[in-house]
Chains A and B, each alone.
Chain A
Amino acid sequence: EAGVTQFPSHSVIEKGQTVTLRCDPISGHDNLYWYRRVMGKEIKFLLHFVKESKQDESGMPNNRFLAERTGGTYSTLKVQPAELEDSGVYFCASSHGRAYTFGSGTRLTVV
């Protein structure tokens, strides 16, 4: 089966700009998660979708982050406007059971 696909793999943007990250989960996985890893730190939970509904968004840093999951398929994470501290690697994961499958991540650099 195809894995979790994320794009772009890298993005460099200026402070104040907008960036949209996309995640295509494994087909049939109702659960979709976004995580972020800031350099050298732990991988931190951002939010969780079950199909198209947000199950838990307690990890979202602030209202500059907006996540959507269209029709319960792919998901987007928009950062607007981006700040320097938003730099990091953003991982998407999907699951059917308790073990998640992660994508390769999007490395976001805000300069």
Chain B
Amino acid sequence: DQQVKQNSPSLSVQEGRISILNCDYTNSMFDYFLWYKKYPAEGPTFLISISSIKDKNEDGRFTVFLNKSAKHLSLHIVPSQPGDSAVYFCAAQQGGSQGNLIFGKGTKLSVKP
């Protein structure tokens, strides 16, 4: 049974607009959440993370929101750029820095010029 779910396999947005990628989880013991970006033939690259004690973390054009009561997090990219086109994976972790990451299936984002 999947503990981390990304229900949208793909998302298409226009350059300059906002991209919103969503992620749901089932395990209330997760205490850290991460977003990774993956280009074809490359490994996942860390993008941004958030601790469960926070509800928002921002880094430049990227903001992650966490709603613990809903067990939901989202990644906002503003403004979206064609270079953001990639597969985005949501991941969750428990048990401190040595806990393994549980990944969702990913959402393929296409940003059209």
Contacts and interface: CB of A to CB of B under 8 A. Distances in A.
Given A40-B105, A42-B4, A43-B89, A48 B43 contact: no
Give chain B's interface residue range (CB within 8 Å of chain A): 20 to 34
B104 A99 contact: no
Contacts, number: 57
Contact of A45 (B41, B46, B100, B105): B100
Nearest to A97: B97
Contact of A98 (B4, B44, B93, B106): B93
A44 interface: yes
A44 B102 CA distance: 7
B80 interface: no
Contacts of B42: 104-105
Nearest to A40: B105
B45 A98 contact: no
Highest count of chain A CB atoms <10 Å: which of B4, B32, B46: B46
28 contacts: A4-B43, A35-B103, A42-B2, A42-B103, A42-B106, A43-B44, A43-B89, A43-B103, A44-B103, A45-B100, A45-B101, A45-B102, A48-B98, A48-B100, A59-B100, A93-B43, A95-B97, A97-B97, A98-B93, A99-B34, A100-B101, A101-B46, A102-B44, A102-B45, A103-B43, A104-B41, A104-B42, A105-B43
Identify the 9 closest CB pairs spanning chains A and B, nearest first: A102-B43, A43-B103, A45-B100, A99-B46, A42-B105, A98-B97, A42-B103, A104-B43, A102-B44
Interface of A: 4, 6, 31, 33, 35, 40-45, 48, 50, 55-56, 59, 91, 93, 95, 97-105
